[in-house]
Amino acid sequence: MSEKHYAVHWQEEEYIYPPPSFVGQANLTDPSIFERFSLDNFPECFKEFADLLDWDQYWHTTLDTSDAPCWKWFVGGKLNASYNCVDRHLDKYKNKTAIHFVPEPEDEPIVHMTYQELYRRVNETAAVLRDFVGLKAGDRVTLHLPMTPELPITMLACARLGVIHSQVFAGFSGQACGERIWDSESRVLITIDGYYRSGKLLDHKVNGDQAVEVAKKLGQDVDKILVWRRYPGKYSSAAPMVEGRDYFMDDLVKQYRGKIVQPVSMPAEGILFLMYTSGSTGRPKGVQHSIGGYLSYVTWMSKNIQDIHPEDVYWCMADIGWITGHSFIVYGPLSAAASTVIFEGVPTYPDAGRVWRIAEELDVNIFHTSPTAIRQLRKAGPDEPAKYNYDFKHMTTVGEPIEPEVWRWYYNVVGKGRAAIVDTWWQTETGGFLCSTVPGLSPMKPGSAGPGVPGIHPVIFDDEGNEIKPGEGKAGNVCIRNPWPGQMQTIWKDRDRYVSTYYGKYNKDPNSKDWRDWPYMAGDAAVMSSDGYVRILGRVDDVINVAGHRLGTKEIESAALTVEEVAEAAVIAAKDEIKGTVPDLYVSLKPGYEASQELAVKISQAVSTVVGKIARPRSVHIVPDMPKTRSGKIMRRILASISNRGDVGDVTSLANPDVVEQIRRQVQS
Ligand code: PRX
């Protein structure tokens, strides 16, 4: 990161105080919390997190640093995540709704699944996985499931057995899924025949078949594909079921109806799941999360930052295929005994009132979404929320920076001026929130995530490792001084990459066992105000944040290079009114090939096929040559300035300065 790239000019926003009605009922209003979670009390303060869980065997060591920077939390403890999210609530809440499932077709009834029903379904699914498939603790299973209740049910069934799930976002291509199957060495894929999106029942099983083929080519055989059906008994995919390999889950679970599977007592440091995310190199990394640390962290955050009480109806509109959904649709809310909403489809289909109609019908009082969804809803129906009779006490924004103006619409129009808002900054790697206000204690500041949550101590470093003090007004790399229980354990099978990516820049002694020597580098640029509030500016690595989703530029570029004609490819983040940023792709061709519209479409389709539709570039610019330094490095910064109609700066030192003006005319004309 270079500070030069970030001219930091903005006005400090005014504080907005949480409504007294919210504060009066909030779970956390004790201001001594920050003192209790000061670094002086680290790591023992995190006992409070672990104590929110039911343990089969209590832990003896809060934090073990002997394998730094692979931190071990709550060592000696044993527990089961599925038990904590389901079984332990049965005494008090068995007839309470655990999951509200809102199907996209509005004439299909909403499903209200009680904790008792969830318990039954998780058990029979676990029975299939254990007794029919033969899975056992430590095995990996890839899930490629969309937003239906079968996704959390399958995750919890895996967790019950100690099986490690690796859910791949349903919008990713079969190829992307196949690569993740291969990396995680899964012998089983769990998918579904189809699901709804924007009025269409999409064929999903075809992706599963492709994924298995891709994995096989890479050297990983899949023995079984387990296929849920969107409508049990009625198969909706064009992909054939392969005998001896493919099985319908709804048929299998019938054979295990009523079967109870004892939750496997797992070590706190066992692995709960893998979640692949994009980084600076082409290969996605399998972020590995623990059972005890992760679950305690998301439970505490759900209770105190999301302010979930068991009587609340909580709706996080993310997809469970991303970390937000894992932590804050499934594990956190269910561990906190909430009623959590699972929503199929997109927010603005069939119309801009859909979200608010659901909020009214289900009496949702906690709402959680991304700036992109807020911008979309604001554009499609700025006056819609007022037409519906719902009442949010609390709202969250997550995934990308939110413009103060968009924040104000969220606050005034969606929240009707009555809800507390938290802007939560965190990452796949961090398991749960890093920066956010505590909603019942601290004022909100539009566009700023807030200070570290209790127990998290952020700091901003310049490139040389000097601390940039709060209020200096300079941007730098945001780091966290201390480890925390929700933090990833490592990158699956790649400890070196874990150490170099997150600690390579600021650790000075690789042999140190002292956590103070290992500040965690998040990969974001940020500024800290004098009050300690952190404003996130964006990624400092080759990652593009599209609609709150992380995409690696290298992944998109490699996809473009699969097209025969393409010689070089460079992706940059172009500003977008709705999605924050979107990929813009520049390519140059091998000698003898001509640019054409058809070729641009072919390249764009290659990106969709290899990565997924979400990565499809806004435009494909076929340019005569890439702007390059004398050493041959493509100057992406110049391409980004052209796409964003900014100043390209001084280009005279390039190897080919003339091409810059040619590209500018081509792109901006
Ligand atoms: O750049 C930051 C941005 O999203 C990145 C993490 O992406 P991912 O691992 O997919 O997780 C997204 C959901 C937690 C971060 O490095 N980001 C996340 N939350 C915010 C944010 N940027 C600004 N404000 C946020 N609240």
Is 466 inside a domain boundary?
no
- Mean pLDDT, rounded, for 391-408: 96
The model's pLDDT over 307-345, given as tens digits with 9 standing for 90+, comes to 999 999 999 999 999 999 999 999 999 999 999 999 999
Q: Quick one: what percent of the chain has pLDDT higher than 70?
A: 98
Question: In what side-by-side order are the strands of the sheet with 313-316?
Answer: 111-114, 97-102, 339-343, 313-316, 366-369, 394-398, 420-424
Token code pair at residue 293 = 């640390």
Q: How far is the CA of 427 from the centre of ligand 1 (A)?
A: 5
Amino acid at 398: V
Reply yes or no on whether the pLDDT at 417 is more than 60. Answer: yes
CA distance 233 to 447: 48
- Ligand 1 atom nearest to 398, measured from its CA: 26
Res 12: pLDDT: 77
* Nearest alpha-carbon partner for 137 in 147, 148, 150, 126: 126
Place of tokens 């603790």: 137
The model's pLDDT over 364-381, given as tens digits with 9 standing for 90+, comes to 999 999 999 999 999 999
Beta-strand ranges (E) seen in 42-85 are 61-64, 72-75, 78-79
CB 426 near ligand 1, within 6 Å? yes
Q: Where does the pLDDT of residue 11 fall: very low under 50, low under 70, confident under 90, or very high at 90 and above?
A: low
- Provide the CATH number for the domain around residue 593: 3.30.300.30
Res 104: pLDDT: 98
Residues 645, 649, 650, 651: is their CA dihedral positive or negative?
negative
The model's pLDDT over 189-205, given as tens digits with 9 standing for 90+, comes to 999 999 999 999 999 99
- Mean pLDDT, rounded, for 453-457: 98
Residue 428 is given by DSSP the state G
Res 10: pLDDT: 56
CB 507 near ligand 1, within 6 Å? no
The model's pLDDT over 59-102, given as tens digits with 9 standing for 90+, comes to 999 999 999 999 999 999 999 999 999 999 999 999 999 999 99
Q: How far is the CA of 360 from the centre of ligand 1 (A)?
A: 29
Is 368 inside a domain boundary?
no
Q: Where does the pLDDT of residue 9 fall: very low under 50, low under 70, confident under 90, or very high at 90 and above?
A: low
Residue nearest to atom 14 of ligand 1 (CA): 427
Q: How far is the CA of 351 from the centre of ligand 1 (A)?
A: 28
CB 539 near ligand 1, within 6 Å? yes
Res 548: pLDDT: 86
Is 330 inside a domain boundary?
no
* Nearest alpha-carbon partner for 638 in 655, 614, 617: 655
Residue nearest to atom 6 of ligand 1 (CA): 427
Q: How far is CA 32 from the centre of its chain?
A: 31
Reply yes or no on whether the pLDDT at 1 is more than 90. Answer: no
Residue 446 is given by DSSP the state T
Res 154: pLDDT: 99
Res 280: pLDDT: 73
The model's pLDDT over 112-121, given as tens digits with 9 standing for 90+, comes to 999 999 999 9
CB 428 near ligand 1, within 6 Å? yes
* 667 contacts 638 by C-beta, under 8 angstroms: no
CB 328 near ligand 1, within 6 Å? no
The whole-chain average pLDDT of the chain stands at: 96
> What values do phi and psi take at 221, rounded to 5?
-85, 140
- Mean pLDDT, rounded, for 416-439: 98
Is 96 inside a domain boundary?
no
Q: Which residues contact 324 (CB under 8 A, 6 or more apart)?
A: 316, 318, 368, 398, 399
Q: Which residues contact 557 (CB under 8 A, 6 or more apart)?
A: 282, 569, 570, 571, 585
The model's pLDDT over 116-138, given as tens digits with 9 standing for 90+, comes to 999 999 999 999 999 999 999 99
Reply yes or no on whether the pLDDT at 2 is more than 80. Answer: no
Pocket test for ligand 1, best of 6, 400, 501, 534 (most atoms within 8 A of CB): 400
Q: How far is the CA of 169 from the centre of ligand 1 (A)?
A: 17
Token code pair at residue 291 = 């059972």
* Nearest alpha-carbon partner for 141 in 73, 78, 211: 211
Q: Where does the pLDDT of residue 6 fall: very low under 50, low under 70, confident under 90, or very high at 90 and above?
A: very low
Q: How far is the CA of 519 from the centre of ligand 1 (A)?
A: 18
Is 629 inside a domain boundary?
yes
Domain housing 653: 549-668
Angle, helices 174-184/597-610, rounded to nearest 10 degrees: 40
Is 648 inside a domain boundary?
yes
Residue nearest to atom 4 of ligand 1 (CA): 399
Q: How far is the CA of 538 from the centre of ligand 1 (A)?
A: 8
Alpha-helical regions (H) of 69-186: 81-85, 90-93, 115-127, 150-161, 174-184
CB 401 near ligand 1, within 6 Å? yes
How many CB atoms sit inside 10 A of residue 210's CB?
18
Place of tokens 């140059």: 588
CB 424 near ligand 1, within 6 Å? yes
CB 449 near ligand 1, within 6 Å? yes
Is 219 inside a domain boundary?
no
Phi/psi-derived region of residue 612, left when phi > 0, alpha when psi is between -120 and 50, beta in every other case: left
CB 488 near ligand 1, within 6 Å? no
Q: Quick one: what percent of the chain has pLDDT higher than 90?
A: 94
Domain count, the chain: 1
- Mean pLDDT, rounded, for 635-656: 93
Q: How far is the CA of 539 from the centre of ligand 1 (A)?
A: 9
DSSP β-bridge partners for residue 197: 200
Place of tokens 């939560």: 424
What is the ipTM metric for this complex?
Answer: 0.99
Res 134: pLDDT: 98
Q: How far is the CA of 319 from the centre of ligand 1 (A)?
A: 14
The model's pLDDT over 221-271, given as tens digits with 9 standing for 90+, comes to 999 999 999 999 999 999 999 999 999 999 999 999 999 999 999 999 999
Reply yes or no on whether the pLDDT at 7 is more than 80. Answer: no
CA distance 663 to 328: 44
DSSP β-bridge partners for residue 193: none
Is 607 inside a domain boundary?
yes
